């Protein structure tokens, strides 16, 4: 079915279109993008505004990065009127575009003897305090040294719902965010934990140091998050192709130029706290993507720590809660700020 993008309302997203599909966030080079794999995901034919570049228009539809779409185009996974075109092709009136998204070719993650700070473990779940600088699961640019590699060495069994590169992973935190994660050791536990995330009943509280002095004692940021239209590798508060995002924060301590916060997630969008803090003009200290370009304290990454996690045990139904102190770099910075 043909759809004019310009007719979509502000509330519309790619999920509203008839060619609805879902796929994991992946990064491909044009040489590594697989072809001809089954199952693959085909969109229905659609049209784009006349005169727009093919790669720009398809990027808007898919909500993916422009480099991802250019990889699809170079591998002839995007066709116009049944024929492949170049990325800079200018769409003509009546052109029918169709996209085929191949299933990524996954390789298995390998076990690695990496120390883990385990807060709790039983036959169903494992709760771990992830250090700053550790990637959660293998991905392009970080195939080894991840939390998953460490988990595979430590555990005999992990849930397989999220595939061979993300065994046991129910939720994620960013590489340079430290703190608590719960891991599922079987599919039943995974489904139970995922249901709590979806229902927003899992408690997730973070500690953050942000730029600027907040005057109000607490607040809520209720602003939808989606891909930044000017930089597809970033997220931003946007009205189109976005999802509901709600963040609550409470001031714990104020310093001369910074504020120490407790932040509670109601939803769990990609980079949510970092994006929302930037949106209210209080970006997280040390954030290399959303923060100030001037790293005055020489920080290794954002001062954001997943300090508290609460959930219902997927088998017993018992409410469980865990807390982890901020890492040394974070704690030392707080001491330094208190002295000034």
Q: Which domains, from first to last, does the chain contain?
A: 5-101 (3.10.290.10), 106-199 (3.30.2350.10), 200-340 (3.30.2350.10)
pLDDT of residue 106: 55
DSSP states of 199-242 as a string? TT-SEEEEEEEEES---SSEEEEE--EEEETTEEEEEEE-SSSE
Q: Which helix (DSSP H) or strand (DSSP E) does residue 180 occupy?
A: strand 178-184
Average pLDDT, the chain: 86
User: Residue 302's closest CA among 255, 263, 338?
Assistant: 263
CB 219 within 8 A of CB 282: no
> How would DSSP label each residue in 260-294?
EEEEEESS--TTHHHHHHHHTT-PBTT-TTTS-S-
Mean pLDDT, residues 283-296 taken together: 91
21-46 average pLDDT score: 44
Output DSSP code: residue 316.
Answer: T
**pLDDT tens profile 262-273:** 999 999 999 999
Question: Is 174 in the active site?
Answer: yes
pLDDT at 251 over 50: yes
For position 294, what pLDDT does the model report? 84
For 119-144, the pLDDT digits (tens) are 999 999 999 999 999 999 988 778 89
> CA-CA-CA-CA torsion for 264, 299, 284, 66, nearest 10 degrees?
-100
Lowest mean pLDDT among 7-11, 132-136, 223-227, 295-299: 7-11
Do 6 and 100 contact (CB within 8 A), yes or no?
no
Alpha carbons 166 and 155: distance in angstroms, whole number: 14
Q: What pLDDT digit, counting tens, does each position of 49-66 carry?
A: 999 999 999 988 887 778
C-alpha distance across the termini of the chain, in Å: 63
256 pLDDT tier (thresholds 50, 70, 90): very high
Nearest CA-CA partner of 193 in 318, 314, 308: 314
Q: How confident is the model at residue 4 (pLDDT cuts 50, 70, 90)?
A: very low
Output 309 or 70, whichever has higher pLDDT.
309
Phi, psi of 5 (to 5 degrees): -60, -35
Q: Which position among 55, 60, 174, 176 bears the catalytic label?
A: 174
Long-range contacts of 77-86 (CB under 8 A, 24+ apart): 77/33, 77/35, 77/101, 77/102, 78/54, 80/54, 85/54, 86/54
Residue 150: pLDDT band (50, 70, 90) is: very high
For 151, which DSSP code? H
Question: Considering the entire predicted model, what is its pTM?
Answer: 0.72
**Residue written as tokens 């305090």?**
129
149: Cβ contacts below 8 Å, ≥ 6 apart: 109, 110, 111, 112, 114, 138
């Amino acid at each position: 079915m043909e759809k004019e993008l310009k007719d979509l309302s502000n509330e519309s997203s790619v999920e509203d279109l008839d060619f609805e599909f879902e796929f994991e966030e992946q990064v491909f080079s044009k040489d590594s993008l697989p072809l001809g794999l089954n199952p693959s995901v085909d969109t229905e034919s659609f049209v784009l505004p006349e005169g727009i570049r093919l790669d720009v228009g398809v990027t808007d539809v898919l909500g993916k990065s422009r480099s991802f779409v250019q990889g699809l185009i170079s591998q002839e996974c995007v066709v116009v009127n049944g024929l492949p075109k170049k990325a800079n092709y200018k769409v003509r009136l009546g052109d029918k575009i169709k996209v085929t998204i191949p299933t990524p070719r996954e390789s298995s993650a390998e076990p690695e003897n990496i120390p883990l700070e385990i807060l709790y473990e039983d036959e169903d779940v494992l709760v771990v305090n992830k250090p700053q600088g550790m990637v959660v699961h293998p991905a392009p640019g970080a195939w080894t040294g991840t939390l998953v590699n460490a988990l595979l060495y430590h555990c005999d069994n992990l849930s397989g719902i999220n595939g061979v590169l993300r065994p046991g992973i129910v939720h994620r935190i960013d590489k340079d965010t430290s703190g608590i994660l719960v891991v599922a050791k079987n599919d039943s536990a995974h489904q139970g934990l995922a249901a709590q995330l979806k229902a927003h009943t899992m408690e997730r509280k973070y500690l953050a140091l942000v730029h600027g002095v907040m005057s109000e004692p607490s607040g809520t940021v209720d602003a939808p998050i989606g891909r930044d239209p000017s930089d597809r590798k970033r997220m931003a508060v946007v009205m189109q192709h976005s999802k509901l995002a709600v963040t609550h924060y409470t001031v714990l301590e104020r310093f001369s130029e910074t504020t120490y916060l407790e932040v509670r997630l109601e939803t769990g969008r990609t980079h949510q706290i970092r994006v929302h803090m930037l949106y209210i003009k209080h970006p997280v200290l040390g954030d290399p993507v959303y923060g100030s370009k001037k790293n005055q304290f020489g920080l290794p990454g954002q001062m954001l720590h997943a300090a508290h996690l609460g959930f219902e045990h997927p088998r017993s139904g018992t409410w469980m809660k865990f807390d982890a102190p901020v890492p040394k770099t974070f704690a030392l910075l707080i001491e330094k700020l208190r002295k000034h």
